């Protein structure tokens, strides 16, 4: 039997599909360590409270060669692991953005019509 996802669960599911892309996007602004990326995401309204963590995702991106890493001293703090986009990561980001835009437009064209009817 099909069940509709509850709103919170739907947000999680949507986030699962694009969080890696969002991480690559914030890395495109410059190398960053884990918590710094969380802050960049939050500054754009993407809070991960109640969601999963970005650390396993960063691990996967690293393993897949989409990010380069280096250890460096942070602002007066302990050495941190900085993540930056690799060449492969840039390609993946570009491809992912195209996919996201195409998907978003298609979904908008379906849901937007309903919204007009309801409104």
Partner 1 sequence: MLRFVDECRKEWRRLGVPDAVAGEMAADLEADLAEAQAEGVSPEAVLGNGFFDARSFAASWASARGVVPGAKRPQERPRWSRWALVLLAAVSFVVTLGGLAALGGGRQASVARVSIGHISASPFGGPHGVFIGPNLPSPVAFSHSAVFAVVGLLFVAAGLIGLALTLWLWRPWATRRRRRGFDDSVGLPSYL
Report the nearest approach of partner 1 to the CB of residue 83 (Å): 10
Q: Which residues on adjacent β-strands are paired with residue 70?
A: 82
Under a CB-based contact definition with an 8 Å cutoff, are residues 76 and 92 in contact? no
Binding part of the chain for partner 1, among 24-32, 74-82, 91-99, 110-118 by CB under 8 A, reads: 74-82
Q: Which residues on adjacent β-strands are paired with residue 69?
A: 83
Q: Does 81 bind partner 1 (CB under 8 A)?
A: yes
**Cα torsion through 67, 53, 35, 98, rounded to 10:** 50
Q: Does 86 bind partner 1 (CB under 8 A)?
A: no
Q: Does 7 bind partner 1 (CB under 8 A)?
A: no
Q: Does 102 bind partner 1 (CB under 8 A)?
A: no
Under a CB-based contact definition with an 8 Å cutoff, are residues 19 and 57 in contact? yes
Q: Which residues bind partner 1 (CB under 8 A)?
A: 16-17, 19-20, 33-35, 38, 42, 47-57, 59-60, 62-63, 74, 77-81
């Amino acid at each position: 039997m099909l069940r509709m996802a509850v709103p919170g669960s739907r947000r999680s599911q949507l986030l699962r599909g694009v969080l890696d892309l969002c991480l690559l996007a914030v890395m495109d602004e410059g190398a960053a360590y884990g918590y710094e990326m969380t802050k960049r995401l939050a500054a754009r309204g993407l809070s991960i409270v109640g969601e999963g963590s970005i650390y396993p995702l960063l691990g996967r991106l690293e393993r897949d060669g989409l990010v380069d890493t280096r250890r460096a001293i942070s602002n007066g703090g302990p050495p941190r692991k900085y993540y930056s986009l690799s060449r492969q990561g840039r390609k993946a980001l570009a491809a992912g953005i195209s996919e996201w835009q195409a998907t978003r437009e298609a979904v908008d064209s379906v849901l937007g019509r309903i919204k007009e009817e309801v409104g």
